[in-house]
């Protein structure tokens, strides 16, 4: 800090979660959806915004169920970090969800989601071939790979 002044536009955000749901078949549940800012489809971990006074762990369970139908009996915080601290205070918590029970998805009215499932080794290849471009998804998948004993 040099004592100077500058003008900044800052996006204040309540935070979000992303969820790595692992099925009994050791597949990871992802969602494919259209993202208007980049005007195309992206393959991502299920994710969503933390509601006021909602613990991130509950947000993770809620968002996984809403977007994919899967109900997580167990969630564990894998990592957390800031999505883009150059302009936003959004913090993202990435959870690992295990012991999934299949239910019915109930996405928000404006969400059009296709559910996809892949093995971790396939997803890691997709990261490095540019097929997965969403950074919360990339971070979560690489963290899961490093953790190693989960899939």
H/E element, 79? strand 70-82
Spot the catalytic one: 9, 90, 109, 133.
Answer: 109
Using CA atoms of 144, 11, 15, 93 in order, give the dihedral in degrees to the nearest 10.
10
Using CA atoms of 100, 90, 128, 143 in order, give the dihedral in degrees to the nearest 10.
-50
Catalytic residue list contains 32: no
Q: What is the pLDDT of residues 97-138, one digit of tens each?
A: 999 999 988 766 777 889 999 999 999 999 999 999 999 999
| Residue 12 pLDDT | 76
**What is the C-alpha separation between 43 and 89, in angstroms, rounded?**
24
Query: Which parts of the chain sit beneath pLDDT 50?
Result: none
Cβ atoms within 10 Å of 25's Cβ, excluding its own: 7
Whether the full predicted model's pTM is greater than 0.95, yes or no, is no
Torsion sign over Cα 74, 42, 90, 1: positive
| Residue 149 pLDDT | 62
Q: How many residues does the chain have?
A: 151
- CATH top class, domain 16-147: alpha beta
């Amino acid at each position: 800090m040099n004592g100077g002044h500058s003008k900044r536009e800052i996006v204040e955000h309540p935070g979000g979660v992303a969820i790595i749901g692992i099925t009994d078949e050791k597949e990871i549940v992802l969602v494919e959806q259209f993202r208007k800012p980049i005007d195309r489809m992206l393959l991502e971990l299920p994710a969503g915004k933390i509601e006021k006074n909602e613990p991130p762990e509950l947000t993770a369970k809620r968002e996984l169920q809403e977007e994919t139908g899967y109900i997580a009996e167990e969630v564990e915080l894998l990592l957390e970090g800031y999505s883009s601290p150059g302009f936003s205070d959004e913090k993202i918590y990435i959870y690992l969800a295990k012991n999934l029970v299949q239910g019915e998805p109930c996405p928000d009215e404006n969400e059009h989601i296709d559910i996809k499932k892949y093995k971790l080794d396939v997803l890691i290849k997709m990261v490095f071939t540019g097929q997965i471009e969403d950074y919360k998804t990339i971070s979560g998948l690489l963290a899961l790979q490093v953790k190693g004993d989960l899939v």
